[in-house]
Structure 1
Amino acid sequence: MNFVFKYEDSQNFEKLWNQYLTSYNVDFQYSLTSIEYYLAYCNNLYKDKSFILEVDNHCVGICFLPIESTKDGFSISIANGYIMAPLAKSLKYEQIIFDCIDKICDDLNIVIVKFKVSIFENLNFNRLRLYRFLDTTNTTCILDLNNSQEDLWMNLRKRYKSLINSLTKNGEYSIVCSNESTLNELHKYYVTFHKIHMKNAGKSLKSNLIYTKQLNLAQQNLATIIAVNFQNHPIIINYFFHDTTNVVYASNAYDTHESFKNLPLNHYLLWHSTLYFKQRGFKKFGFGQPCSLNSINGFMDYADEKELSISHFKRGMGTQMISHMQGIKFLKKEPLLQLIDQFKSEVTNGL
């Protein structure tokens, strides 16, 4: 048995990591290209301690382990958010991997670890609880693309059907999907729209590296861009991340011109995206975050009015609410106490 760390032997690490991906049914978010995309969000990366567990020249477990500097100390997370939890061939190897993580935490004085489980694992129990993680499971919504097109249409919120039809019947609107000839142009429109959106929202602009990594996903068939054209020009663009079985609605950007403001563009786009992925044999379609039912849903699970409105929209697309299992391990009490105080504040102000 042997641990192979990325920073010590990147070539062997990548070979064995990819061996694991091809040997088991693994969420596309564990692909090394996807991981490079997520790392682009990490502005305060201290070390990447990702590793694999090797037994008899075979990879039996993988662990993505970025360590970043935060105001509270070192954290296993990205931009203070959750990262994909380790995977292993068996519970025995999973325990060995989590023991290794605990040792790394002790050696580097880590204060907090944030993991999430893939929504495509179909678990009935949050496996992170086995390793002393506080369960912070929240909700998301998903479409079962095994359903017939008729059933998918029937499950839409009633008024959404007329909204979608209003654009479908208007010849000035059309759907365009990325391929070799359209990918680069659609990506450029997406970046332009997204930067304007971030600026108007008063948010810090993403680094160009993030957009480049996003394009890399599409170039490697791990993402698709789908847009609504008005008179043959894109006015709203969505990025979808996927493998060949499951897909997730990842991000959205649009033309902020006043004439497009109140049109049901995303209703129209997501319906035709549903048909696009269904026709290509995809099984599950995740609608991502936010997807909340209440302003206060649980510890560290809060939603403002805008997020509740987005969540309402997603449920109207015929989706089913499911649990998205997550967990936090607190290795110092101060971050936990801060979050408890935040929870008290949310409850005081929200109830």
Structure 2
Amino acid sequence: MDATRWTGLSTAPHGAILSRIAEMIREVHLDARLRPEHPQAWMEMETRFSYLPVSCSGSMIDYQMAYGRCGGAVMIDISLILNHDRNPCGLWPLSLTLLENGDIRISSQGGCIAPPLFRAELAGKSVHDIVTRCLNFLKLLGNWTRHRELVLMEGFSGLHAIGHWHDQLMRLGAVVTLRHELFVDLSLSLAEIKSCMRKSFRSLITSGSKIWQIESITSANPEVWAEFKRLHFQVAGRSTRSDETWQIQYDTVVSQQGFLIGLRDAHQRLVGGGYFHVTRQEGCYAVAAYDRALFDKPLGHVVQFLAIQEMQRRGLRWYKIGRRHYPADTPSPTEKELSISCFKQGFATHILPSYEFSLTISPS
């Protein structure tokens, strides 16, 4: 099947598309299984990593796929469970998206193409060989879809060193751009974490904790979740995403892969809240909503601090707050992006590097 003759991914048989993907996997001698055909195997693999980023969790992949469909995009999950000597050794989030102009894009659920995640005990030579096959697979996929200008990334996943993915991309001629991510080291004591926070934030956390009644939702509670969803709608002034995405996030709370921190006023009205997606090792700031009439009072400060406490209670290692934008970044960030990332930095203990790669695939 020639991808260039698709009238749209929505009209192409998904089975035929996945069959062609499987052919390319075999062509580059990559031992792998497609997540859509083996969802349980992906879930089982999640428990075998010493550090599993939220972005590699099946629940986050499902959320991003559903979010991508909110704008009418057609997305197909082609994430791969990687094997070595016939045993599962890695996970690789991948997807195909059909854009409105008919172009097909390769990504990791709408974002830059992420590197495969490997188990810590896998030998370096084996990682190198599998990464080589993964990149050969991307070359085939890029030529098949005619998406030859790839954007890839490498972020923090428990290790600080540059890995085989980074090295081989540079050897292929990729151009790299430095990005920055904000993290909290949850192995520090709460007092140490608080000492790293912006001084003004510390006093706001103290005062806010006295103003608001705090609610931590860590298990099934549909009534409070519905309140949070309504608050988000009121603050945004419209529905920004589908009911499916909200349901996926609520399901993570039920399954202990997420939690909600809520703040109530003296009248028991929910005035603010933040939802956080987690694995066993990492937490991620996902979405928040606060009553705009109360922006002069400490809301987000309290939610962030309580979220850190909840992550520590669960034994997580790192909290990923989000990207730190700088004025000289390319493309230039908006004033809102700069303001939000400056606010987030007030809670961080670390600014860690991430890398964005541009790679051109030669036609074949």
- The two structures have a TM-score, normalised by structure 2, of 0.78
Partner of 2:53: 27
Question: What secondary structure, in the 3-state scheme, does the structure 2 residue paired with 1:36 have?
Answer: helix
Aligned residue identity for 1:31: S
- Structure 1 residue 74, shift from structure 2 partner: 1.5
Partner of 2:200: 159
Instruction: Encode CA deviations 1:124-168: one digit per residue, 9 max, x unaligned.
Output: 326335134432331111111222222222222222222222222
- Structure 1 residue 252, shift from structure 2 partner: 0.9
- Structure 1 residue 241, shift from structure 2 partner: 1.0
Alpha-carbon spacing, 1:186–1:327, altered in 2? closer, same or farther (3 Å): farther
CA contact (8 A) 1:112 1:332 kept: no
Alpha-carbon spacing, 1:220–1:134, altered in 2? closer, same or farther (3 Å): farther
Aligned residues: 317
Is 1:314 the equivalent of 2:344?
yes
Residue 285 of structure 1, aligned match among 280, 294, 319: 319
Quote the Cα distance in structure 1 between the aligned partners of 2:360 and 2:328.
22
Partner of 1:295: 327
Partner of 1:143: 184
Alpha-carbon spacing, 1:55–1:124, altered in 2? closer, same or farther (3 Å): closer
Is 1:215 the equivalent of 2:250?
yes
CA contact (8 A) 1:19 1:59 kept: no
- Structure 1 residue 272, shift from structure 2 partner: 2.1
- Structure 1 residue 323, shift from structure 2 partner: 1.1
Quote the Cα distance in structure 2 between the aligned partners of 1:285 and 1:121.
11
Alpha-carbon spacing, 1:84–1:195, altered in 2? closer, same or farther (3 Å): farther
Greater shift, 55-64 or 78-87, is seen at 78-87
Residue 213 of structure 2, aligned match among 129, 151, 174: 174
CA contact (8 A) 2:77 2:95 kept: yes
Partner of 2:278: 242
Alignment of 1:238-277 (within 5 A): 238-256=274-292, 258=293, 260-277=294-311
Task: Name the % identity.
Answer: 20
Instruction: Encode CA deviations 1:12-68: one digit per residue, 9 max, x unaligned.
Output: x33443343333333232222221111112232354333333344312333222111
Quote the Cα distance in structure 2 between the aligned partners of 1:272 and 1:280.
13
Greater shift, 237-246 or 57-66, is seen at 57-66
CA contact (8 A) 2:276 2:284 kept: yes
CA contact (8 A) 1:68 1:78 kept: no
Alpha-carbon spacing, 1:179–1:151, altered in 2? closer, same or farther (3 Å): closer
Partner of 2:12: none
CA contact (8 A) 2:156 2:354 kept: yes
Quote the Cα distance in structure 2 between the aligned partners of 1:285 and 1:54.
29
Partner of 2:42: 17
Instruction: Encode CA deviations 1:155-210: one digit per residue, 9 max, x unaligned.
Output: 2222222222222233xx121111335x322321222122233336xxx7212221
Greater shift, 108-117 or 26-35, is seen at 108-117
- The two structures have a TM-score, normalised by structure 1, of 0.80
Residue 150 of structure 2, aligned match among 88, 101, 113: 113
Is 1:99 the equivalent of 2:136?
yes
Partner of 2:168: 130
Alpha-carbon spacing, 1:35–1:80, altered in 2? closer, same or farther (3 Å): closer
Question: What secondary structure, in the 3-state scheme, does the structure 2 residue paired with 1:169 have?
Answer: helix
Q: Which runs of 5+ in 1 are unaligned?
A: 334-351
Q: Which runs of 5+ in 2 are unaligned?
A: 1-28
